[in-house]
Amino acid sequence: MNSATTTAPSPVRVGLVGLSARGGWAPQSHLPALNRLDGYELRALSASSDASARAAGAKYGVPLAFGSAEELVRSDEVDLVVVSVRVPLHREVITAALGAGKAVLSEWPLGNGLAEAEELAAAADLAGVRTFAGLQARSAPAVRHVRDLVADGYVGEVLSTSLVASGRRWGPVFEPGGEYLIDRANGGTMLTIPFGHTIDAVTMVLGELTEVSATLATRRPVVHEEGTGRAAPMTVHDQIAVSGRLAGGAVVSAHFRAGMSRGTNFHWEINGTDGDLVVTGDSGHLQQAALTVRGARGTEVTVTELPVPARYFDVPALDGVRGLPSYNVGAQYARIHADLAQGTAHAPDFAHAARRQGLLDAIERSAATGGRITL
């Protein structure tokens, strides 16, 4: 009897820049996702020093620990470089990874401002490698469910959409170690992070904006560190009000407020000729919020819950982290794996990220000039 053997495809070997033993975003999101998913192997990490890298490697069981990102990207044991550091450091790490011919997944926002994002997107195109941007809100099961409801005609023709949300951070106090987020020059702002993630999901569901008008304000110019009460200046906008129009003609209104509200922290309505959809959640960070979808159409006068069907939870390995920040990150990793293995384009790339930062730049220009910006 003849027998045939098959060889399992090699896992994508990941090098994670910014995995710290002290905690932070990467251990909460990337690490749990990668540890659960087939098709990936976390082979390497880098940190700010040899000592901190060794500590993280020992804590998380990562075989290769480098004291710099430059060493990591040159390793022959890394296929995909994941950039999970502060926004001002993105350009240096990404440029090194592209120069080494490595595929790159960068946290959002891609660059510190539009010019930097466009530069990185152009460099990736020139390097001819696969790139991915961490806009994981579009991988959330509830967001994908809403997209399909709209596409299938649940609300009929979309007339308008309105959204009000809380940014969670950027309120009266900032966390120890989080002072860089209140300095607009660092690029990690309420506009770029929660608003950016959320508006990207809105456009996935409803289509791109064709014009915007905006008002931005900093209503708390001085905030205080949690625990110590130390005062610090805040130059980040803590109020964002945007109106505009979608390609199909529907009117958009979105208002983000810093901190948390005692009332509404996330409410998104989509109103159409035949029905209405309402998405609610616990904060404006749509990329990690706990969401509920409700709707009504035809003669129905009250919205009722439209549970997210099981088919949208299509990565069984992640069932143990449903409701946690790592779920949507992991769902995006699953799409990235398919893109790398099959040559598809399910996950947003650097070109997409640069276009989205172009929208944020238009919002800032509108607020600065008081005029409407056509996109």
Domain residue spans of the chain: 12-136, 138-309+349-374
- Rounded CA-CA distance 310/210 in Å is 34
DSSP state of 180: G
On whether the pTM is more than 0.85, the answer is yes
For residues 215 and 271, what is the distance between their CA atoms, to the nearest angstrom? 24
| Residue 92 pLDDT grade (very low, low, confident, very high; cuts 50, 70, 90) | very high
10 falls in which pLDDT band (50, 70, 90)?
confident
- Token pair, residue 241, equals 């009000």
Terminus-to-terminus CA distance in the chain, angstroms?
A: 66
Three-state SS string over 243-265 comes to EEEECCCCEEEEEEECCCCCCCC
What does the pLDDT look like over 288-307, one tens digit per residue?
Answer: 999 999 999 999 999 999 99
Question: Would you say 200 and 135 are in contact if contact means Cβ atoms under 8 Å apart?
Answer: yes
Give CA torsion, residues 337, 47, 223, 106, to 10 deg. -20
Tell me the pLDDT tens digit for each residue of 55-91: 999 999 999 999 999 999 999 999 999 999 999 999 9
138-309+349-374, CATH topology level: Dihydrodipicolinate Reductase; domain 2 (3.30.360)
Does residue 6 surpass a pLDDT of 70? no
Output the pLDDT for position 23: 86
Q: Give the model confidence (pLDDT) of 335-362 as tens digits.
A: 999 999 999 999 999 999 999 999 999 9
Return the pLDDT at 4: 41
Which CATH number among 3.40.1260.10, 3.40.50.720, 3.30.830.10, 3.90.550.10 corresponds to the domain 12-136?
3.40.50.720
Biggest distance spanned by C-alpha atoms of the chain: 79
Amino acid at 174: F
